Amino acid sequence: MMPKQPMNVLTTKPSPLSTMVVMLILCILGFYALHFPHSSTPSENLSHLEKLFLSTSSNSTISSYLRALTMHPHLAGTKPASDTTRYVLNHFTSLGLSAHTTTYTTLLSFPVRSSLSAHFNDGSSVSLRLTEEASGAGVVAAYHAYSPSGAVHAPAVFANYGRQRDYRALAAMGVNVSGCVVVVRKGGEMGRGAVVERAEVNGAAAVLVYGEGDTWRKGFERGHVMRGGIGDPLTPGWAGVEGAETLGLEDREVLKRFPKIPSMPLSAEVADTILSSLGGVHVPLHWRGTLRSKVRHVGPGPTLLNFTYEGEKKVATIQNVFAVIKGSEEPDRYVLLGNHRDAWTYGAVDPSSGTAALLDIARRFSALLGLGWKPRRTIILCSWDAEEFGMIGSTEWVEQNLINLGSKAVAYLNVDCAVQGPDFFVGSTPQLDNLILEVTNKVKDPDSDGVSLYENWAAGGGGNNIQRLSGVDSDFAPFVQHAGVPSIDMYYGRDFPVYHTAFDSYNWMAEYGDPFFHRHVAVTGVWGLLALHLADDPILPFNYVSYANELQLYKNTLSNLIDQKISLHPLTLSIEEFASAAKEADDEIKKLRLQETEGCFVDMKKRALNDRLMLAEKGFLDADGLQGKQWFKHLVFGPSSDHERINFFPGISDSTITSAGVSERERLASIQHEIWRVARAIRRAASALRGEFT
């Protein structure tokens, strides 16, 4: 249905008079502190800066940005997406920021037509809806991007979450899914692409994926099912710029990226119609605890499904938008803040809550610039395109700028969906953990009076549960897993019921997600303060002792999972070496921070130390990449084929999976080799931290 008219829960964008009052207050508070930004001591200056940045927050302004961004759908590669591009670019330039776009030609995928009918055992049949009712002008029909076209008439079978162990459970009950239309519920820690791949491996003819929930049961979750990497499939490893080499659609490497069986999202309501009609054996007891659908039997049949899907792959133009705030002392060192702009439908949560936050950071940084502030290092605000098709915009840009990122990027700070609901979540590479804890202690908690975000988050165990960036589910992936840039990803709310559906509208956000936009303000506050520290602290706020502790934890966990015939001694020694280098770097940081004298020599020592802190993450990269996924270079954080075991050391994890035709001796040798590869990577990172030749 059409999104309802936005509720007037907030005032609209501030009037010119109120803006002038805010600016006057800022001038009184900050002129002396900011007019000569590097004349006072750094800690004193940054404290003033933090207060000024936080004092300019405005929930009504963020609300107005979100309202504008969600007036129409803006799927990548379409005319409305170009309008949203212009809106973001004009916003940056209207603030006096230096802004530009980069353009790429990439392969996208769109639906042409689809149908689904169920034929029941009593001879009756029904045509089933495949998109939301009255979803509104311009909303793309529900589909899986890059699904092949196909027509299937076959029995339905329920396969729980579609994991390999779910197929094993079906086989143990005598259920054969070969040639069937598999119906799978979302979840189980597997992405939709992996779900389709598992179904294909097990012989299914097609896959239908639905999301369970007590509310919003009429929504269809769009998404892509491309596999084997991210970015444009026609330019793997290089950017799709004008005149670039492109592979053909029939190229073997391109074909590997696409599934061979068709798939489609279903609503929970439509799925119930199918699942409640199945016969055969009963649903296994261990599946039932979390089931909300009406399924009692798994099939196959007796219900037959007649499913057709026709899609088309199109070469389309996408555009990233950037605003650049030039650094005053180290303009060749870059702090990047990124959010993707494209959406499957209206995209109030995903991604426009993050886009609204990015626009507000631009406004607040512009206000600080007006008072005379200049960051020490260059800040780039990045608005990515075509993330929903596989992080294409950010990946193409990373591939185009790989060398400069390798030597000049300080950190990448990602916010995809700023707000999905309650509770704060953050993931990072471990050297940024301490900075996260420090900054969240300075931002007011949006849901509790009188406490910081950190206090409320830590009370729920959050402070000890910073996630890691091994997933391939947002724009941090190319920065961490291909370029080795220290990164952070953060958001409020883990899941939301209107994800990728036509109901992801401003109205849903204003009624359910964040009615007063206080969570948006909190995320924007944390995002901005992280950027200010990374851009202005004379010594980068990195702590590799945290990284060493994390690596030790991974080694300990691994020791309980792998065969005792495998030696972890290379890993043990390399982690000890890394821990020693991290301690030395930490001691050096403390000494330099205590040094009160200024001058060229001290500045050079800080610059040299910063370079080592910045480059150490690149040590974890391996030129050969992960086995079978060579584009992914990071040996500590990256996608594993075993989606259900561990989220670190992906190469080691993949090597433990037994392949057909591989002897036990070969399997153990493969695991040992991957352990040596990780050990060498950790030693490279330790060497980078020390900054000396052997």
**pLDDT tens per residue, range 501-533:** 999 999 999 999 999 999 999 999 999 999 999
Mark out the alpha helices in 202-317 (DSSP H runs).
Answer: 252-255, 268-275, 285-288
**Residue 644: its pLDDT value, please?**
62
**Residue 596: its pLDDT value, please?**
63
Checking if the pLDDT of 153 tops 50, the result is yes
Checking if the pLDDT of 616 tops 70, the result is yes
**Residue 658: its pLDDT value, please?**
67
Residue 392 · residue 487 · CB < 8 Å: no
What does the pLDDT look like over 66-83, one tens digit per residue? Answer: 999 999 999 999 999 999
Could you tell me the two tokens for 138?
């311009």
Checking if the pLDDT of 260 tops 60, the result is yes
Could you tell me the two tokens for 146?
């890059």
Residue type, 16: P
**Residue 32: its pLDDT value, please?**
35
Peptide bond into 300 cis (omega under 30): yes
Domain residue ranges of the chain, discontinuous segments joined by +: 46-107+315-536, 109-313, 544-690
CA distances to 95, 656, 677 from 406, rounded to whole Å, are 30, 31, 21
Checking if the pLDDT of 178 tops 60, the result is yes
What does the pLDDT look like over 633-688, one tens digit per residue? Answer: 999 999 998 756 788 999 999 998 866 678 989 999 999 999 999 999 999 999 99
> 475 — phi, psi (to 5°)?
-75, -5
**Residue 495: its pLDDT value, please?**
84
Neighbours of 661 (CB within 10 A): 6
* pTM confidence score: 0.93
**Residue 35: its pLDDT value, please?**
35
**Residue 460: its pLDDT value, please?**
83
CA distances to 228, 485, 501, 621, 677 from 626, rounded to whole Å, are 11, 18, 34, 10, 10
> 254 — phi, psi (to 5°)?
-70, -45
209: pLDDT confidence band, cut at 50, 70 and 90?
A: very high
**175 closest CA partner among 284, 41, 13, 59:** 284
**Residue 189: its pLDDT value, please?**
78
Q: Of 50, 200, 221, 387, which residue is the catalytic one? A: 387
584: pLDDT confidence band, cut at 50, 70 and 90?
A: very high
Give the CATH number of domain 46-107+315-536; options: 3.30.70.20, 3.40.30.10, 3.40.630.10, 3.40.50.720: 3.40.630.10
177-205 average pLDDT score? 94
3-state helix, strand, coil split of the chain in percent (to 5) is: 40, 20, 40
Higher pLDDT: 263 or 602? It is 263
**Residue 293: its pLDDT value, please?**
76
Q: Three-class SS of residue 207?
A: strand
What's the Rg (C-alpha) of the chain? 26
538-542 average pLDDT score? 97
Residue 394 · residue 387 · CB < 8 Å: yes
What does the pLDDT look like over 380-420, one tens digit per residue? Answer: 999 999 999 999 999 999 999 999 999 999 999 999 999 99
Known active-site residue 200: no
Distance CA 293, CA 281 (A): 17
Q: Which stretch of 13-27, 203-217, 423-437 has the lowest confidence by average pLDDT?
A: 13-27
Checking if the pLDDT of 22 tops 70, the result is no
Residue 326 · residue 373 · CB < 8 Å: no
**Residue 660: its pLDDT value, please?**
65
**Fold classified for 544-690:** Transcription Elongation Factor S-II; Chain A (1.20.930)
Residue 119 · residue 259 · CB < 8 Å: no
**Residue 532: its pLDDT value, please?**
97
Residue 452 · residue 435 · CB < 8 Å: no
Distance CA 92, CA 362 (A): 7
What does the pLDDT look like over 35-78, one tens digit per residue? Answer: 333 333 333 444 789 999 999 999 999 999 999 999 999 999 99
Could you tell me the two tokens for 163?
């994991």
Angle (CA) 87-91-92 rounded to 5° is 125
Query: Is domain 109-313 classified as CATH 3.10.129.10?
Result: no
Residue 401 · residue 409 · CB < 8 Å: no
